[in-house]
Amino acid sequence: MKKEYCGLFGIYGHPEAARMTYFGLYALQHRGQESAGIVTWDGTTIREQKGMGLVADVFNERHLGKELKGSIAVGHLRYSTAGASLLRNCQPFLVRFGNMNLAIAHNGNLVNALELRRELEQTGSIFQTTIDSEVFVHLIAKYLNGGTMEEAVIKACSKVRGAYSLILLANNKMIALRDPHGVRPLMLGRLGDNYVLASETCAFDLIEAEIIRPIEPGEMLVIQDKCLQSFRLGEPQPTKQCIFELVYFARPDSEVFGEVVYLRRKQMGITLANEAPVDADYVMPFPDSGVYAAIGYSQASGLPFESTMIRNHYVGRTFIQPSQDMRDFSVRVKLNPVRQMIKDKRIIIVEDSIVRGTTIRTRVKKLRELGAREIHMRVSCPAIRHPCFYGIDFSSKGELIAAHNKVEEIARFIGLDSLHYLSIEGLLASVNSSPDESRFCLACFDGKYPIAPCAEGMKMCLEDSVALSW
């Protein structure tokens, strides 16, 4: 089953719901660049527009002004791993059964999706896509017979395991929910008299909506006729929020899990400077991912902050593109150095993470060619040693440079004079304004999975493992 990391937006009761959803998705574009979709409901008819590419490529004025009619809308952005970049896998996923129109937008990954899919197919379900989100639809349809939509959703959630934030559009109802561990974010806001939902608060800022609160872990919120009802999905579970939202994914101007992302990333840099000081001429990031930690490192160390790598803003983020060939090409066109700032300099590069190491190796090689005397790297999160089963594209140990190699070996492979990863303790101290340090999922660092992966998926990830070679 393909893993996904996505962006969600929903709005209820606005006369220009499609246009507001377009703006919300635009603000969340960093969460997925492969496809985008909007589904609307006008009281009698459900409509959809989906396509491959960026938000601005998928929608035009005809869609927003004429075709996507209705005051209720849900939108979705998606990125996928290789092999799943298909139009049929775009969301929101829309089905019709009886007099019910159901659209689902999902951020996360179900660890038992393959098992549930086989069970459903054996009882006659026919799947149209390869996304695990479709499992929810078949389960809801199965349990809707004779019951309410709310009851069907709760029963469906009792069968699935994994990470999920969902926005469902069921005729005139909008339903938002998060898994009991709260792995993925989802926020509730208000725009005038209308309720809005989004993966991150930066989407609210663009449309000038007020932040109300997060959807709680294990909560199902139903919006109907501008009234809210809250339900519990089941027994409370330990909260395990994805710490990589604060390290990498969320926009720095967002609030996620009650934390201001900008401040948390800056604090990571401050902690990193205290853990691993080094004498150098200046501190620099590889834009944009390491910028805010680099600011913190610079301020804590007293070393100047310099932007000596200039980003081409018309090239997509390399991490979420679907093929290695495309990633390698992006490395060459995404950043260009200021040559006069590099020759004979001792440089500290602050990066937010190292996943495969190939992109950073290419960039460091370029700095060496331009005459850098020393290159030190400080990484504002711990070494990523374990696959993620909850929706981030760390799909196998074989893709993780730190899974089978020591820090010194990684430094040599990349071409560094020194390398230091922020400790787990340092990361927790940096991101946590709450006394509860156990609220974060750290599985990609320590291998302690809060939701047990299925045996089949674990076997596939662990078999694909290789060490570095020079």
- Catalytic residue numbers? 6
Q: For 36-88, how does the pLDDT look when each residue is reduced to its tens digit (9 = 90+)?
A: 999 999 999 999 999 999 999 999 999 999 999 999 999 999 876 433 567 88
Domains of the chain: 7-237 (3.60.20.10), 261-463 (3.40.50.2020)
pTM for this model (two decimals)? 0.89
374-379 vs 418-421, strand pairing mode: parallel
Q: Which amino acid is at 235?
A: E
CA torsion 452→457→461→462, rounded to 10°?
Answer: 70
Annotated binding site: 242, 388, 441, 444
Residues of the chain with pLDDT under 50: 1-4, 81-83, 317-319, 460-461, 463-470
Q: Which among 193, 221, 170, 167 has a CA at the least distance from the CA of 15?
A: 193
Task: Match 């635009």 to its residue by tokens.
Answer: 26
Q: Which among 201, 202, 236, 196 has a CA at the least distance from the CA of 216?
A: 236
For the purposes of burial, counting CB atoms within 10 Å of the CB of 379, is it exposed (0-12), middle (13-18) or buried (19 or more)?
buried
